[in-house]
Structure 1
């Protein structure tokens, strides 16, 4: 077992202990750390929260809200760090929290390519979701817009993980074995969603252009008839 996996399992166990003792505040606290680049797996946090929901100890929506607000708090910290210090800080210290130069470059490219939507979609992508707030801060993205997109992007991910925890029940810990599979499924689902919106938007544009062309032809023919 690699040192990374050993640390992940240790942090996952620590997370469950904290949530068991603190409940919703524990979820908020841990998700804040996760979004601030402390390598605590959100899969363990929110799936264990789902397990507690299945036992009736906490409410589903409360768990999702606590996780989402934690995501936002941690992301806001990274946003302001990126805005003030830029990428050099993360390049220098990222290695201590398993964030490589490649992760940073992927997040920056993703943000540059997708702009504001990168903050929304990036919250649902492995590796990218934990660092996407930094390029947003470096680019000095409007903070109100950043807030909206971060919260909206965090909700689906947290709802999905919490629901998985409800379904797995006592076997919630299996999530650690299949986290890579879940990340892959999230990427595929996101690609399908983006493709759907792109095709729908393109169809709307084509329909609008077609209607305008027909209107122009009608107006022209009407004008010619009037001249005669």
Structure 2
């Protein structure tokens, strides 16, 4: 896998935004390419002046959405039997899908939003959403809303770390939990404040 990761970095260095888009599309379509790798290096290229921060964010979010739609459609039309039979051929682990399914069973459509900030689950959450045949437009909206803060956080971190951007790979899971926690706190604060003002 390390060879594949290095190749991904090489492609991003050559092709820039399209490679970020394709890399995130693959990651969100269940191919195990860490978003920390893609966004961390993209942030480094922003640091070098070879990429624009906002455009990199747009490419990352758009790619993640495209891959998520593919995963959603696989779940929608194939269902669990398809994953059981063909999952191993499309990089889908039944154990990881089951983990994502537990999140979806607990939080419903909200899981599509929250899971974008969590390691492993974010890659597979679109499948149970497809299994449940959730409203497609709502799925897209929740996917985008969940993807934006994670994308911004990682690209910004890569930009701030500069030549040390690879540190993101070692702290990626912890960073995702931090971003998720901060977002949950913000949402709770917003809800409480809104109820007080009602």
Under a length normalisation based on structure 2, what TM-score does the superposition of the two structures give? Answer: 0.90
Gap regions ≥5 residues in structure 1: 1-6, 209-228
Retained in 2: the 8 A contact 1:37–1:130? yes
TM-aligned CA distance change 1:20 to 1:34, over 3 Å: same
> Is the aligned partner of 1:182 residue 2:175?
no
Q: CA RMSD in A?
A: 2.1
> Is the aligned partner of 1:170 residue 2:188?
no
Aligned residue pair count: 198
Q: Deviations over 1:131-151 (max 9, x none)?
A: 000111111111100111111
Cα distance in 2 between the residues matched to 1:192 and 1:175: 18
Aligned partner of 1:45 among 38, 45, 55: 38
Counterpart of 2:51 in structure 1 is 58
Counterpart of 2:8 in structure 1 is 15
TM-aligned CA distance change 1:152 to 1:201, over 3 Å: closer
Counterpart of 2:187 in structure 1 is 197
| Higher relative contact order (Cα pairs below 8 Å, separated by 6+ residues) | 2
Cα distance in 2 between the residues matched to 1:110 and 1:12: 28
> Is the aligned partner of 1:144 residue 2:134?
no
Higher-Rg structure is: 1
TM-aligned CA distance change 1:76 to 1:98, over 3 Å: closer
Question: 1:126 is paired with a residue of what secondary structure?
Answer: coil
Q: Following TM superposition, by how much is the alpha carbon of 1:16 offset from its aligned partner in structure 2, in angstroms?
A: 0.9
Counterpart of 2:28 in structure 1 is 35
Question: 2:165 is paired with a residue of what secondary structure?
Answer: helix
Gap regions ≥5 residues in structure 2: none
Counterpart of 2:125 in structure 1 is 132
Retained in 2: the 8 A contact 1:11–1:41? no
Retained in 2: the 8 A contact 1:82–1:134? yes
> Is the aligned partner of 1:78 residue 2:71?
yes
